[in-house]
A and B are shown apart, each in its own frame.
Chain A
Amino acid sequence: MAELFTATEFNQHLAEHKLMGARCAACGEIHVPPRPICPECPEAEMTWEELSGEGKLAAFTVVHIAPTMMLDAGYGRKNPYCTGVVELAEGQRISAQILGVDVSDPASIAIGAPLKVAFVERGEGDEQKTYLAFEPA
């Protein structure tokens, strides 16, 4: 079978501080998150390609009731965080934490605002992992 473009590989690229997608040789679309089959051109070859890391905020939410992984990272009712969907300069969208915005005033966070990729390290030793984030450009 051809390459699978797994989340494991995607996360390995993140650990190297690279945001990578799968480029379709036929239509030229860079799929992010990566996928092994282009929905428009199922027969086409796909190859890994690094993205510019530039984008803009497409949607966001300030989370007050946090899931376990974010509670473990120090967030919660008293320390909410912002997560969003980022529209990348290359066209596709991805979910990521949004850093550097004022979570105490969601009205101050602007959809359409330019963002650039950031990489967040959490956990120690074997648990250490790099997470995708974006911050104001």
Chain B
Amino acid sequence: MRDVAIIGIGQTPVDEHWTTSLRHLALDAGLKALKDANLERVEAVYVGNMLSGTTTGQEHLGGLVVDFLGMAGTEAMKIEAACASGAAAVRVGMMAVASGMSDLVLAMGVEKMTDTVGQQTTAALAMAADAEYEVSQGVTFVTLNGLLMQRYMYEYGWERKDFANFVINAHANGKHNPNAMFQKEISQAAYERSPMISSPVGLFDASPICDGAAAVVLAPMEYAHTLSPAPVRIKASAVATSPLAVHSRKDPLALEAARISAQRAYEQAEIEPDDLDFFELHDAFTIMAALSLEATGFAERGQAVRMALDGEITLDGRIPVSTMGGLKSRGHPVGATGVYQIVESVLQLRGLAGETQLPNARLGMAQNIGGSGATIITHILEAMG
């Protein structure tokens, strides 16, 4: 197995791209990543996406995107793992390079969620849950997070207002990210008065519906330096799963797939959580940010909210999270999100994160959560420059 490096990154600003189609979002991010890597072609393209069939009537994204990139003939496939589709595409690309089957790979994520009306998008997102035993009972993607947050508050005694710092931190950082959907701060008061979607999840607990695409170019580490002035090593890549249905998980608040995939990643990278300089976590909902911090070893069970209250997740805190806005402020174009997390991590490791650049960032982690936690993918990245 070969070590794999990221030698190029590209991203489309997250927004409601009503006039830009799915293929052109992918094209924009893909071309930017290729340009960043000083390449015109790659040997394989993997496109992470969750919803295109439902929201745009378009499947078969591998062939579609690779053709519009001017590379028809090249190996290409769509990779799907609900909201973890983006990291899954990077994972598959990494496996192709690590195994020696390909040398240069483009891994991307793309999602278009604003072509459909709210109810259709809600139904599409619910496809990440168990259709026969959850969705059939009136469960949506948001209600699953409502169940988890309510149970968490019950078990650990927190109130909804205690979760505000996850949102305040994400927006304070996203404000400086030109690619973020929301470039403005949110106050404690605004968070507290946001309307309920599915109690106790309010509008500001949730990441927005949006469109976007992001891409990375992967190459063998052994000659990455000849292609890029600042390659970033994929030091670990791990996937773990849990039952799709929340009711079928032995301990739903444990976010078991996050714990297992992080543990595998720490073992591969031979590091401890405290060695990390930042953590791009999956704050699709405030409760997911909390559960992810606990499952990855940054907080005891029930104590991630305390971490946020104590300022440990800000840029100058113990473990900065959502350094460029996270899912809450940058946006959560579901199948693209995992690749945005990795692109932002690379910016931090290259020292190009702008206003929210962390000093001496050398080691970062990105964790992408599919559905309410059934597929969770953890990557650890290391600066090589």
A68 to chain B, nearest CB (A): 6
How far, in angstroms, from A62 to B196 measured CA to CA in the complex? 9
Contact partners of A92 in chain B: CB under 8 A: 247
B133 near A67 with CB under 8 A, answer no
Q: Given A69-B138, A83-B137, A85-B147, does the pair A64, B247 have CB atoms closer than 8 Å?
A: no
Interface string of B128-155 (1 = CB under 8 A from A): 0010111111111011001111110010
Q: Which has the most chain B C-beta neighbours within 10 Å: A59, A63, A70?
A: A59
Which residues from 42 to 97 on chain A have a C-beta closer than 8 Å to any C-beta of chain B?
Answer: 58-71, 73, 75, 81, 83-85, 92-97
Q: Tell me whether B197 is interfacial, beta carbon within 8 Å.
A: yes
Give 22 A-B contacts (CB < 8 Å), ordered by A residue: A7-B133, A59-B151, A60-B150, A61-B143, A61-B149, A63-B138, A63-B140, A63-B143, A64-B198, A65-B122, A65-B197, A66-B140, A67-B119, A73-B138, A85-B246, A85-B247, A85-B252, A92-B247, A95-B137, A96-B137, A97-B138, A131-B136
How far, in angstroms, from A92 to B252 measured CA to CA in the complex? 13
Contact partners of B247 in chain A: CB under 8 A: 33, 85, 92-95
Interface string of B312-326 (1 = CB under 8 A from A): 000000000000000
- Contacts beyond the supplied A62-B198, A67-B123: 14 A-B pairs with Cβ under 8 Å: A7-B132, A61-B150, A62-B196, A63-B143, A65-B198, A71-B119, A75-B138, A84-B147, A85-B247, A94-B133, A95-B134, A95-B246, A95-B247, A96-B137
Q: Given A33-B248, A59-B151, A84-B147, does the pair A67, B135 have CB atoms closer than 8 Å?
A: yes
A64 near B195 with CB under 8 A, answer yes
Which residues from 17 to 59 on chain B have a C-beta closer than 8 Å to any C-beta of chain A?
Answer: none
A131 near B137 with CB under 8 A, answer yes
Count of interface residues, chain A, beta-carbon cutoff 8 Å: 32
Contact partners of B200 in chain A: CB under 8 A: 61, 106
Contact partners of A132 in chain B: CB under 8 A: 137
On B, residues with C-beta under 8 Å from A are: 118-119, 122-123, 126, 130, 132-140, 142-143, 146-151, 154, 195-201, 245-248, 252
Q: Given A58-B151, A95-B133, does the pair A33, B245 have CB atoms closer than 8 Å?
A: yes
- Count contacts between A and B, CB distance < 8 Å: 105
B199 near A61 with CB under 8 A, answer yes
B290 to chain A, nearest CB (A): 15
Give A85's nearest chain B residue, CB to CB. B247
On A, residues with C-beta under 8 Å from B are: 7, 33, 58-71, 73, 75, 81, 83-85, 92-97, 106, 111, 131-132
Contact partners of A71 in chain B: CB under 8 A: 119
A59 near B134 with CB under 8 A, answer no
A61 near B147 with CB under 8 A, answer yes
The listed residue (B132, B150, B197) touching A33 by CB distance below 8 A is: B132
B150 near A63 with CB under 8 A, answer no
Q: Which has the most chain B C-beta neighbours within 10 Å: A69, A71, A73?
A: A69
A63 near B137 with CB under 8 A, answer no
The listed residue (B119, B130, B146, B197) touching A68 by CB distance below 8 A is: B119
How far, in angstroms, from A44 to B119 measured CA to CA in the complex? 42
Give A112's nearest chain B residue, CB to CB. B154
